[in-house]
Amino acid sequence: MAQQDLVTLTIEGVEVSVPKGTMIIEAAKQAGIIIPHYCYHPGLPIAGVCRMCLVEVEGAPKLAIACATDVADGLIVNVFNDDALAARRSVLEFLLINHPLDCPICDQAGECELQDYVFQEGRSGTRYEDYAKRFSPVEDFGGDVLYVPNRCILCTRCVRFMDDVAQEDVLNVSERGDRAFIGIHPDKDLGHEWAGNVVDLCPVGSLISKDFLHKARVWELDKTPSVCTGCSQGCNINVDTRENVVVRLRPRVNLEVNRYFMCDTGRLHYRWMNRGDRIEAPLVSQGGDLTATDWDHALAEAAQLVRGSGGRAIALVSANASNEALFLTKQLLADLEVTAAFRVPRVEGEVPLVGVPGLALREERAANAAGAEALGYKEDFDGALRAANGASLVVVVDDDLNGVSEEQLSGAANLIYLGTLLPDVARRASVVLPIANVVEEDGTLTNRDRRVQRYLQAKAAPGMARPAWWVLSELVRELGRGEVCASAAEVFAALADAEEPFHGMSYDNLGFAGRAMAAAGMSV
Amino acid sequence: MGYPHKPHEKETVVLSEYFGDAEARSYDGWTKRGGYKALKTVLEMGPSDVIEIVKASGLRGRGGAGFPTGLKWSFMPKEKSKPHYLCCNADESEPGTFKDREIMRWTPHALIEGCAIAQYAIQAEITYIYIRGEFTGPLRVMQSALDEAYERGALGPDAMGSGKRLDMYIHRAAGAYICGEETAMMNSIEGRRGNPRIKPPFPAAAGVFGMPTTINNVETLAAVPHIINRGPEWYKSLCLGNERSVGTKLFSVCGHVQRPGNYEVTMGFPLGELIDDMCGGVPSGRTLKACIPGGSSVPILNKEETESCILDYEGCVEKGTMLGSGGVIVFDDSADMVYQVMRLARFYAHESCGQCTQCREGTAWTVRIMERILAGQGEMKDLDLLLDLSHQMTGTTICVLSDSCAAPVESGIKKFRDEFEAYIVGSREPIMAAAG
Amino acid sequence: MTQTTEYTAVFTGTTRKRLDEILTRYPTKRAALLAALWMVQEAHGWISDAAMAETAEVLDLTPSYVKGVVTFYTMYHQHPVGETFVQVCTTTPCDLCGAEGVVQALLEHTGCGELGATSPDGKFTVIEVECLGACGFATPVMMNEDFIEDVTPDKVPDLVKKYS
């Protein structure tokens, strides 16, 4: 940005320079200050109605709302002076006169902006004595959303999201004055694919998730940054777990990928992560039966199979497997004539979030097809499966073998199966190696725009299951083809060294926003 | 004319000259009375010359804010790159005010001509006359006058043969006081909820349909043809000493007076004389107690303040109130000021659009506290609470509806505290049932 | 109250023509919404969900949007009302001049009994409204589209008779 496009102002004594046209509320973030607010949201058009972000701009006749006041050179903004604090304390008091104090049974408690700001700046008692509060019954808004009107503070974030971002006019503000409430289309509901975002956007517990209803107190949750595997978009998410169980997925801000949002399909695509019917120990075939064993034995058996194979080998990998696992699978089979393939489940029809160009629930319902392609895998699962006939070795990495018959695999000399569940056809494997699922390991995925993004382990894997990168790296070492890797980061470092599209990348420089692969020597 | 009464000798009759004269409603009747001459004159001038004349006249907005009209017009882009609009604010809803209604009812062509002149000056093709939905009579009169003006070629694609396009439409409102606020009105014209908009952008930059827009009150626009015909110097000379407030102003007087009605006086006229001489004072046997001089949104004056208040923008400010829309509400000694303040607060609570927190919750809360006091269940600390709420409802919201609720509450408690305390200590019988 | 009869479309024939003419006055279709809703009310006496859906359709809006607008403006009826809809101003100036007595007289003589209720014969609904803008002519009363000034309690019986 050219120098002349920057303006310099002082916020709470801190001088900041921001692009012209920035609102004070955003500029304040640079000074390390979050100005309390409700209606403002960076992903929505400005409404300026909650009046919570009132601040003093020196020289102005009245307090100004930080969300709709442009920065200007030399402005002096006071966020915490007496007048501004009194005004915000008053807004909080006004909001609370009709807001029930049902925090003990409200799912929002603990991540409620009303609770937080009242704690931070509000008055300790109420002066709204003995009056009845507004009451309206809870309403099912459809989709995953319940509306609790009593808690509503009329910030209109939900209405603006549906109107301007989802661009499906389903919600409105009905009536006026203190009788106003959020109304809904008489014949439509919040079944829209992206409607669940209104729950995240709601600053209080007025719009709540049916799926998450009374499931946990949010302060009991552990939050882990991750990437959604529901499709090839690669929306950044947080995985919320409670006692090692995933209870909720929520969008994590990434302005390049999903901004503040995620679709409902992705949001509700988590129950499989908690499945109880997992493979919990390595298995080796003994007289046709799979028998549980320890890792040393299983790895030695698997390495022996690879070592003993010659000629053609087949790798059938999941398009959800990490870049790290796919890279090591290649390493493992480097001496063989390999046909390496993946498949991508497809659902016809993209579902875009109209107001955010480039964001959609994609037809490709897998998270790492672009990574697999970049690493040389072909989307030709059926071809590879045909080639399995007469092959010396088939290695399956995390594909569920759904739709694959016994006959299709019976022509191969040996089968090594790495997976989380044990499908029937995999029972003919010589070795079964239990691996972690995406929320049980660290790794990276490459989205459809060839953006490489990290995800972190959110829960422990069951039993003896280990991350695929660990299993494969142990095998590679066993075969004498490389050093053992102590972490996913080390695997990725090796990958970045070896694979041209990943050159220059590391876990450190990917950070939590990820980086696009170089298209022409450039990276984002 | 002090419609519905005969004009009083102290009136300066300009806008109200033909109130009650049914013939003045027709195109011919109006031209016979000098109508449409000003428009013809103007169409031969440059738009900016018209603005200069209005600037020189000292005319200020009669809707409430008192902003200089010519200056407002001059904010419109000179170089036209997109459509411009004029909106005529005929949403007269301020309790105590009923002057625009009479202008439309009796002299519709005066308003049409004023609109046409303003429209030409700001280079707008279209004027929307935003008339409140309840004004069924004025709506009918205005519509037939408009039809006639089109038929006679005063309006349309070639207004008065000038080659200029001047189109004018009535937009009927549907019951919302807040739509008299200019940005709410623009939303309402666009077919939206009448929520006021945050400013900037100001209407002259991005108004109705996102285009440069000027909004003027009926009375302001109706004065314009007179200024064109008789010159800005004449208008400026209608002055009783304060050169910043000139011209005539219609005052709607209502409440406890013998002859309520519209009275047109020169700016700077004494409020006491208006009430006593023109309106015959309070009913016999009663004494004056209080007065709201500028529509319900302005602070209440007590007897002494009323008797010494000068009716112009600055004179009212001097007494701690505002000239506003010129709606004069008179209270005699029979009025229960506590109840009346509650009644005003209830009006604002009903009319709040509900966008801004302080207004949505504050107006309703204020009513509840007032009702409790009237039910004999108030406490002394409620008065401080009311004052504190009013303080926080002033200057903190998008528009001034919230401030308007606060004004009578603050001034009411300040000036009639003993009446409030009487309910609280129980020396006065409760007049309302206890509410939840 | 629910609609038991089948919905009759409003925007056909001459009403449609009227709407089309109004549409020429504005750069957007949305701007004709208030006028369109007036036409609906004129035709049906109130604005039902079905009517909102029809209005939304002709103006390329959504029923949800239309409902937001309908509920903002107090003159649009969200429920059926009596044949004569009576609005009495009771805001401060009229209150000072005895509007309360006018309200009581109207409730009694129309048989409505209470505010907002429709009389048993279906002829009247009486409501209190905020300022009708005729404070100098207290108490103004609207009988449907007729605006009557200077109503006092003693004038109410004749007034009610006229609209019965």
| 3-state SS track over B128-196 | EEEECCCCHHHHHHHHHHHHHHHHCCCCECCHHHCCCCEEEEEEECCCCHHHHCHHHHHHHHCCCCCCC
pLDDT for B436 beyond 60: no
Inter-chain CB proximity B364 and A177 less than 8 Å? yes
- Give mean pLDDT, residues B340-349: 97
- Residue whose C-alpha is closest to residue C67's, from C33, C31, C18: C33
Inter-chain CB proximity A183 and C61 less than 8 Å? no
Cα–Cα distance for residue pair A428/A425, rounded to 1 Å: 6
Largest CA distance in chain C: 50
- Local structure of residue C153 (DSSP, 8 states): G
- Buried-state track B40-73, b at ≥16 Cβ within 10 A, e below 16: eebbebebeebbbbbbebbbbbbbbbbebbbebb
Facing residue for C71 by CB, picked from A169, A174, A188: A174
pLDDT for B74 beyond 60: yes
What one-letter code names the amino acid at B377? Answer: Q
Nearest chain C residue to A168 by CA: give it: C62
Q: Is B40 on the interface with A (CB under 8 A)?
A: no
Facing residue for B356 by CB, picked from A49, A68, A131: A49
Facing residue for B209 by CB, picked from C28, C34, C38: C28
Instruction: Provide the token pair at C131.
Output: 């300022």
* Three-state SS annotation for C23-63: HCCCCCCHHHHHHHHHHHHHHHCCCCHHHHHHHHHHCCCCH
Q: For residue range A384-433, what is the model confidence (pLDDT) as tens digits? A: 999 999 999 999 999 999 999 999 999 999 999 999 999 999 999 999 99
**Mind telling me how many Å the CA of C116 is from chain B's nearest CA?**
16
Instruction: Provide the token pair at B300.
Output: 């209440």
Range with lowest mean pLDDT among A252-256, B346-350, C3-7: C3-7
Cα–Cα distance for residue pair A277/B48, rounded to 1 Å: 83
Q: What pLDDT is stored for residue A187 in this prediction?
A: 85
| Chain B residues with beta carbon closer than 8 angstroms to that of A174 | none
**Mind telling me how many Å the CA of B189 is from chain C's nearest CA?**
6
Facing residue for B396 by CB, picked from A54, A131, A175: A54
Q: Is B131 on the interface with C (CB under 8 A)?
A: no
pLDDT for A269 beyond 60: yes
pLDDT band for position A336 (cuts 50, 70, 90): very high
Domain locations in chain A as residue ranges = 3-91, 283-516
What one-letter code names the amino acid at B376? Answer: G
Cα–Cα distance for residue pair A402/A318, rounded to 1 Å: 11
Q: What pLDDT is stored for residue A522 in this prediction?
A: 45
Inter-chain CB proximity B361 and A49 less than 8 Å? no
Q: In the A/B pair of chains, how many CB contacts fall below 8 A?
A: 83
Task: Kindly give the residue spans of alpha helices, DSSP state H, lying in A202-310.
Answer: 264-267, 295-308
**Mind telling me how many Å the CA of C5 is from chain B's nearest CA?**
27
Q: What pLDDT is stored for residue B149 in this prediction?
A: 98
Cα–Cα distance for residue pair C77/B174, rounded to 1 Å: 10
Position with higher pLDDT, B10 vs A125: B10
Inter-chain CB proximity A174 and C67 less than 8 Å? yes
Q: Are A98 and A45 in contact (CB under 8 A)?
A: no
- Give mean pLDDT, residues C116-141: 96
Exposure of A115 by Cβ count < 10 A (0-12 exposed, 13-18 middle, 19+ buried)?
buried
Average predicted confidence (pLDDT) for chain C: 95
Exposure of C18 by Cβ count < 10 A (0-12 exposed, 13-18 middle, 19+ buried)?
middle
Cα–Cα distance for residue pair C125/A24, rounded to 1 Å: 51
Q: Is A98 on the interface with B (CB under 8 A)?
A: yes
**Mind telling me how many Å the CA of A175 is from chain C's nearest CA?**
5
pLDDT for C4 beyond 60: no
Facing residue for A90 by CB, picked from B350, B358, B436: B358
Instruction: Provide the token pair at A356.
Output: 């955010």
Question: Which residues, in sequence order, are bridge partners of residue A497?
Answer: none
Q: Is A178 on the interface with C (CB under 8 A)?
A: no
Average predicted confidence (pLDDT) for chain A: 95
CATH assignment of A283-516, among 3.40.50.740, 3.30.420.10, 3.30.70.3190, 3.30.70.141:
3.40.50.740
H or E stretch at C164: none
Entry pTM: 0.95
Nearest chain C residue to B354 by CA: give it: C72
- Residue whose C-alpha is closest to residue A249's, from A232, A279, A272, A277: A272
Fold agreement (C13-72, C84-163): no
Q: What pLDDT is stored for residue B2 in this prediction?
A: 54
Q: How far is CA B256 from the centre of its chain?
A: 21
Nearest chain C residue to B336 by CA: give it: C96
Domain locations in chain C as residue ranges = 13-72, 84-163
pLDDT for C129 beyond 70: yes
Chains touching C by CB (3 or more pairs below 8 Å): A, B
Average predicted confidence (pLDDT) for chain B: 96
Cα–Cα distance for residue pair B436/B368, rounded to 1 Å: 9
Cα–Cα distance for residue pair A142/A210, rounded to 1 Å: 9
Q: Is C9 on the interface with B (CB under 8 A)?
A: no
- Residue whose C-alpha is closest to residue A36's, from A99, A85, A98, A97: A85
Q: Is B293 on the interface with C (CB under 8 A)?
A: no
Facing residue for A185 by CB, picked from C62, C71, C72: C62
Query: Which class would CATH give C13-72?
Result: mainly alpha
CA triplet B331, B336, B342: central angle to 5 degrees? 100
- Residue whose C-alpha is closest to residue B274's, from B243, B248, B246: B248
- Local structure of residue A231 (DSSP, 8 states): S
Q: Are B336 and B431 in contact (CB under 8 A)?
A: yes
Q: Is A187 on the interface with C (CB under 8 A)?
A: yes
pLDDT band for position A521 (cuts 50, 70, 90): very low
Q: Is C141 on the interface with B (CB under 8 A)?
A: no
- Give mean pLDDT, residues B5-31: 95
Interface mutation target, options B134, B181, B367, chain C, most CBs of C under 10 Å: B134
Inter-chain CB proximity A178 and B385 less than 8 Å? no
Interface mutation target, options C3, C30, C64, C67, chain A, most CBs of A under 10 Å: C64
Q: What pLDDT is stored for residue A4 in this prediction?
A: 64
Inter-chain CB proximity A169 and C72 less than 8 Å? no
Q: Is A173 on the interface with C (CB under 8 A)?
A: yes
The CB density around residue C7, as the number of other CB atoms within 10 Å, is 13
Chains touching B by CB (3 or more pairs below 8 Å): A, C
- Residue whose C-alpha is closest to residue B262's, from B102, B134, B114: B102
- Residue whose C-alpha is closest to residue A445's, from A383, A495, A484, A481: A495
- Give mean pLDDT, residues B106-121: 98
Question: Which residues, in sequence order, are bridge partners of residue A283?
Answer: A292, A432
- Give mean pLDDT, residues A286-304: 95
pLDDT for C1 beyond 80: no
Chain C stretch 62-121, residues whose beta carbon is closer than 8 A to a beta carbon of chain B: 68-69, 72-76, 87, 91-93, 95-97
Inter-chain CB proximity B255 and C133 less than 8 Å? no
Nearest chain B residue to A62 by CA: give it: B395
Facing residue for B254 by CB, picked from C37, C69, C136: C136
Percent of chain B with pLDDT over 90: 97
**Mind telling me how many Å the CA of B313 is from chain A's nearest CA?**
20
| Chain C residues with beta carbon closer than 8 angstroms to that of A187 | 53, 63
Cα–Cα distance for residue pair B194/B177, rounded to 1 Å: 9
Q: Is A349 on the interface with B (CB under 8 A)?
A: no
pLDDT band for position A3 (cuts 50, 70, 90): low
Q: For residue range A127-140, what is the model confidence (pLDDT) as tens digits? A: 998 888 999 999 99
pLDDT for B191 beyond 60: yes
Percent of chain C with pLDDT over 70: 97
Instruction: Provide the token pair at A63.
Output: 């307090």
**Mind telling me how many Å the CA of B98 is from chain C's nearest CA?**
5
Q: What pLDDT is stored for residue A130 in this prediction?
A: 81
pLDDT band for position A523 (cuts 50, 70, 90): very low
Q: Are A97 and B361 in contact (CB under 8 A)?
A: yes
Facing residue for B357 by CB, picked from A46, A86, A95: A95
Interface mutation target, options A164, A172, A175, chain C, most CBs of C under 10 Å: A172
Q: Is A154 on the interface with B (CB under 8 A)?
A: yes
Q: Is A184 on the interface with C (CB under 8 A)?
A: yes
Q: Is A423 on the interface with C (CB under 8 A)?
A: no
- Give mean pLDDT, residues B235-243: 95
Q: How far is CA B104 from CA A197, B421, C87, in A?
A: 50, 44, 22
HSE (side-chain half, CA atoms, 13 Å) at B360: 30
pLDDT band for position B128 (cuts 50, 70, 90): very high
Cα–Cα distance for residue pair C134/B97, rounded to 1 Å: 7
Q: Is A188 on the interface with C (CB under 8 A)?
A: yes
Cα–Cα distance for residue pair B282/B255, rounded to 1 Å: 9
Question: Which residues, in sequence order, are bridge partners of residue A250?
Answer: A238
Q: What pLDDT is stored for residue A484 in this prediction?
A: 83
| Chain B residues with beta carbon closer than 8 angstroms to that of C75 | 133-134, 174-175
- Local structure of residue A103 (DSSP, 8 states): G
- Sign of the alpha-carbon dihedral angle for B235, B241, B244, B245: negative
Q: Are B262 and B337 in contact (CB under 8 A)?
A: no
Chains touching A by CB (3 or more pairs below 8 Å): B, C
pLDDT band for position A266 (cuts 50, 70, 90): very high
Inter-chain CB proximity B362 and A177 less than 8 Å? no
HSE (side-chain half, CA atoms, 13 Å) at B394: 17
Q: For residue range C79-105, what is the model confidence (pLDDT) as tens digits? A: 999 999 999 999 999 999 999 999 999
Q: Are B104 and B141 in contact (CB under 8 A)?
A: yes
Position with higher pLDDT, A1 vs C100: C100
Q: What pLDDT is stored for residue A524 in this prediction?
A: 40
Query: Which class would CATH give A3-91?
Result: alpha beta
Q: Provide the CATH topology of domain C84-163.
A: Glutaredoxin (3.40.30)
Q: Which residues of C touch A (CB under 8 A)?
A: 49, 52-53, 61-65, 67-68, 71-72
